[in-house]
Chains A and B, each alone.
Chain A
């Protein structure tokens, strides 16, 4: 942790915020500005502005609110995943509920931030995300497990035929990844899991990131499969 922060001091984390609630936006930008290893690279309060910002130089972390006045933040997540592939996208949410989070992850988000998190927690989450880790809640973990269980049987043809050339990300969960998700659904924290599995707690969070990426690919493969079966996409 200490070592990571030193590195970050040399290369500050560039953070971009897309948030329409001025209160939360102010609080968040204050937190970012006050963190020594972060730099606020941009702010937007609408979907249009947010998409426009993606034309600029890529940030390290993009914080997006889903409910924007002129549309959904999902569009920004999707565009950012395309245009800023190296950027870690984080969706800010009131409740971290399954519906919003899963939707965002499938669009390309790597994590989520609860809006009522304390400043310290917020900074930790941004740092963790920037260095390749992702948060997860027990309900999300259960949901992800569920998705992969369906994906193995439901979209295996699509995965093998269409998404396989895209890389190895589309392979189902490894045994360790599954074990991590399982322990999370039982209520263990990342630290406890790290101890149980003899890993560093950071590794547990990178496992989660990898799982999210697989989920995104799986959901994309499913979408392609769907499109093909419906005749929208030519073979």
Chain B
């Protein structure tokens, strides 16, 4: 906005620098008022001497005092008009050859404006109905050189207005157009074009907010923002469109938009500071509605005329001030944004007040027209809000992402930690299981064998060969224990192969031949070290029994696949034994058989013996699948 203002200043500055001496600043004039009956078209020529000789001398700028209340009262009986004549002398104009321009900051009236140069009509503004935009439209008339070459003597202004209204006129400049155009363009730019641009921009952002609201209907702020933009656009519409405000509804809209604007700002503020402010809300809505009804063209309770509107506007100014003050106080400790909006509406109200003062001749008609900048202020304030929201939202998203990443990291660490602890527990469990298994195994086999060997050596009741044999079998036990710890990967044949490899040296020199008649077997997925050791011990015990008790000369080891499991068969050609009897007694061999049975049960398998005088057939059956791990 500052940039746009700077552009305007550049316009003006560029023109101002080239101001030659040929300029005439007219601050003295003659003035008279004539009653008339209704507006009429200005004649093409008007000789000032033909007018009544009731001229009064006045100084420009001219701002006649207005009696607002009386004016409003009289205005109701419309129809009567007046014509104000202002006569300016151009005699002091330095002689120039080129065309001349007449420039004035402001000619304020509610009727037509006609400009005569040397008695000839050279400019007209607003040919029918009341004039609305005189406050912000600078006067600019280019006077062509007279055909007959007579110098310009006199400028005559004919200002029509309603009977009780008063005109105002700034001082006028006369001079070459290029010398005055800068000042004129600057006024036009800052009073009309720039506010129009800002208003349009505000409207565009408002439409954007409306579309945001369509998607996020729970956020009323966006809808309010759109309403704000829309009403302020409507409010400013008559400043910028070329159409004269002749339509009564359009006039109604223009006036009421101001109230709506204040009301929307009030609701906005309420949202920001979060206080209901019941009475103020009732008041604001009440006044707005009342004004809307009163000024409705078809009801015509209050005629919306330039005589009445200044009073209506003063109501709007009071309402704006109230909203600003109460909103500001409410938002003071609660919302920065609320304070900003309250300050904004405060500024807008002040701008509106200067506008009003200007309109009603309380301040010089040469003052700047600031009312048009209420839009700009509103746009800036709400633009700042939107900007903050937007920037905050981005920061929030970034924070959220960062905290999300952090949470994820924490979670991962936690998970890793719990996983580690779980592994630790598992590891301990495994170690404990393994220790228990080995302890059990050592206790039954190796430990007791060693103890009996030690006792025999100490007592001396056993031959060295016997002791050596016991120790060798201890070593075999140990080897098998170690082998059971090797991964056999579900391969029962590999386990049996290992057993054979370990036992083969013991068979040497016993005269017993071992027939290996194994077949491929499917994998046994449950074959863990614990189960492997059970199987090794079962088969080992079986072969040891044969060697110890049966006087066999041949052992056949075979494997086969049965319906739902695998079989390991160990047959010998020894003299056999009474299975039931052996199982029933508590002798070493009986305990051995019971051990085999117990171990088989532990791995969900079975053992069976078929013994005849010609040999014994031992079968270890193992399941293919095993659902539950044995304890």
Tell me the A residues contacting B by CB distance below 8 Å. 95-98, 116-118, 121, 137-139, 142, 184-189, 192
Q: A139-B494, A186-B494 are in contact. List 5 more A-B contacts (CB 8 A).
A: A97-B486, A138-B497, A139-B486, A187-B499, A188-B516
Chain B residue numbers with a CB within 8 Å of A121 are 505, 508
Q: How far is the CA of A139 from the CA of B478 in the complex (A)?
A: 16
A-B residue pairs, 8 tightest by C-beta: A187-B497, A138-B497, A187-B500, A186-B493, A137-B501, A138-B498, A139-B486, A185-B494
Chain A residue numbers with a CB within 8 Å of B70 are none
Nearest chain B CB to A19's CB is how many angstroms away? Answer: 18
Q: How far is the CA of A74 from the CA of B448 in the complex (A)?
A: 36
Establish whether residues A139 and B498, one from each chain, have CB atoms under 8 Å apart when the complex forms: yes
B contacts with A: majority SS: helix
Chain B residue numbers with a CB within 8 Å of A142 are 488-489, 491, 494
Q: How far is the CA of A95 from the CA of B502 in the complex (A)?
A: 10
Interface string of B492-518 (1 = CB under 8 A from A): 011011111100110010000000101
Establish whether residues A185 and B486, one from each chain, have CB atoms under 8 Å apart when the complex forms: no
Q: How far is the CA of A186 from the CA of B496 in the complex (A)?
A: 8
Q: How far is the CA of A97 from the CA of B482 in the complex (A)?
A: 8
Q: How far is the CA of A138 from the CA of B488 in the complex (A)?
A: 10
Judge if B357 is at the interface, Cβ distance under 8 Å. Answer: no
Establish whether residues B501 and A185, one from each chain, have CB atoms under 8 Å apart when the complex forms: no
Q: Please, how many residues of chain B have a CB less than 8 angstroms from a CB on the other chain?
A: 23
Establish whether residues B494 and A138, one from each chain, have CB atoms under 8 Å apart when the complex forms: yes
Nearest chain B CB to A105's CB is how many angstroms away? Answer: 16
A139-B518 contact, Cβ under 8 Å, with A118-B508, A185-B493, A187-B500: no
Closest to B496 in A: A187
Interface string of B512-528 (1 = CB under 8 A from A): 00001010000000000
Partner of A187, one of B483, B486, B518: B518
Closest to B504 in A: A189
Chain B residue numbers with a CB within 8 Å of A117 are 505
A98-B516 contact, Cβ under 8 Å, with A137-B498, A139-B494, A187-B501: no
Judge if B334 is at the interface, Cβ distance under 8 Å. Answer: no
Establish whether residues A185 and B483, one from each chain, have CB atoms under 8 Å apart when the complex forms: no
Partner of A95, one of B479, B505, B516: B479
Kindly identify, within residues 68 to 84 of chain B, every residue whose CB is under 8 Å from any CB belonging to chain A: none
Q: How far is the CA of A154 from the CA of B80 in the complex (A)?
A: 110
Most buried by B among A98, A121, A186, A187: A187
Establish whether residues B497 and A118, one from each chain, have CB atoms under 8 Å apart when the complex forms: no
Nearest chain A CB to B480's CB is how many angstroms away? Answer: 10
Q: How far is the CA of A83 from the CA of B377 in the complex (A)?
A: 98
Closest to A184 in B: B497
Partner of B516, one of A116, A137, A185, A192: A192
Chain A residue numbers with a CB within 8 Å of B479 are 95-96
A98-B497 contact, Cβ under 8 Å, with A116-B472, A118-B505, A121-B505: no
Chain A residue numbers with a CB within 8 Å of B500 are 138, 187
Chain B residue numbers with a CB within 8 Å of A97 are 482, 486
Chain B residue numbers with a CB within 8 Å of A184 are 497
Chain B residue numbers with a CB within 8 Å of A118 are 505, 508
Q: How far is the CA of A192 from the CA of B504 in the complex (A)?
A: 13
Judge if B58 is at the interface, Cβ distance under 8 Å. Answer: no
Judge if B67 is at the interface, Cβ distance under 8 Å. Answer: no
Q: How far is the CA of A137 from the CA of B502 in the complex (A)?
A: 9
Establish whether residues B501 and A138, one from each chain, have CB atoms under 8 Å apart when the complex forms: yes
Q: How far is the CA of A193 from the CA of B504 in the complex (A)?
A: 15
Nearest chain B CB to A118's CB is how many angstroms away? Answer: 7
Q: How far is the CA of A230 from the CA of B217 in the complex (A)?
A: 62
Q: List 27 A-B contacts (CB under 8 A).
A: A95-B478, A97-B482, A98-B486, A116-B475, A118-B505, A137-B498, A137-B501, A138-B497, A138-B500, A138-B501, A139-B483, A139-B486, A139-B488, A139-B498, A142-B488, A142-B489, A142-B491, A142-B494, A184-B497, A185-B491, A185-B494, A186-B494, A186-B497, A186-B518, A187-B493, A187-B500, A188-B516
Q: How far is the CA of A98 from the CA of B491 in the complex (A)?
A: 16
Nearest chain B CB to A136's CB is how many angstroms away? Answer: 9
Q: How far is the CA of A192 from the CA of B515 in the complex (A)?
A: 10
Chain B residue numbers with a CB within 8 Å of A192 are 516
Chain B residue numbers with a CB within 8 Å of A96 are 479
Most buried by B among A98, A184, A186: A186
A95-B482 contact, Cβ under 8 Å, with A117-B505, A187-B516, A192-B516: yes
Most buried by B among A95, A138, A192: A138
Chain B residue numbers with a CB within 8 Å of A138 are 494, 497-498, 500-501
Q: How far is the CA of A168 from the CA of B145 in the complex (A)?
A: 117
Q: How far is the CA of A185 from the CA of B501 in the complex (A)?
A: 10
Chain B residue numbers with a CB within 8 Å of A188 are 497, 516
Nearest chain A CB to B102's CB is how many angstroms away? Answer: 92
Q: How far is the CA of A184 from the CA of B494 in the complex (A)?
A: 9
Chain A residue numbers with a CB within 8 Å of B508 are 118, 121
Chain A residue numbers with a CB within 8 Å of B504 are 189
Q: How far is the CA of A97 from the CA of B481 in the complex (A)?
A: 11
Q: How far is the CA of A95 from the CA of B498 in the complex (A)?
A: 12
Chain A residue numbers with a CB within 8 Å of B497 are 138, 184-188
Nearest chain B CB to A56's CB is how many angstroms away? Answer: 34
Nearest chain A CB to B212's CB is how many angstroms away? Answer: 57
Nearest chain B CB to A60's CB is how many angstroms away? Answer: 25
Chain B residue numbers with a CB within 8 Å of A98 are 486
Closest to A98 in B: B486
Q: How far is the CA of A91 from the CA of B551 in the complex (A)?
A: 37
Chain A residue numbers with a CB within 8 Å of B496 are 187
Closest to B500 in A: A187
Q: How far is the CA of A186 from the CA of B500 in the complex (A)?
A: 10
Closest to B481 in A: A95
Nearest chain B CB to A189's CB is how many angstroms away? Answer: 7
Q: How far is the CA of A96 from the CA of B494 in the complex (A)?
A: 16
Q: How far is the CA of A233 from the CA of B516 in the complex (A)?
A: 50
Chain B residue numbers with a CB within 8 Å of A189 are 504, 516
Q: How far is the CA of A137 from the CA of B488 in the complex (A)?
A: 13
Nearest chain A CB to B335's CB is how many angstroms away? Answer: 64
Chain A residue numbers with a CB within 8 Å of B482 are 95, 97
Nearest chain A CB to B539's CB is how many angstroms away? Answer: 11
Q: How far is the CA of A139 from the CA of B499 in the complex (A)?
A: 10
Nearest chain B CB to A131's CB is how many angstroms away? Answer: 21
Q: How far is the CA of A98 from the CA of B501 in the complex (A)?
A: 14
Q: How far is the CA of A142 from the CA of B491 in the complex (A)?
A: 10
Q: How far is the CA of A43 from the CA of B565 in the complex (A)?
A: 54
Q: How far is the CA of A192 from the CA of B517 in the complex (A)?
A: 11
Closest to A97 in B: B482
Kindly identify, within residues 455 to 482 of chain B, every residue whose CB is under 8 Å from any CB belonging to chain A: 472, 475, 478-479, 482
Nearest chain B CB to A209's CB is how many angstroms away? Answer: 18
Closest to A117 in B: B505
Chain A residue numbers with a CB within 8 Å of B501 are 137-138, 187
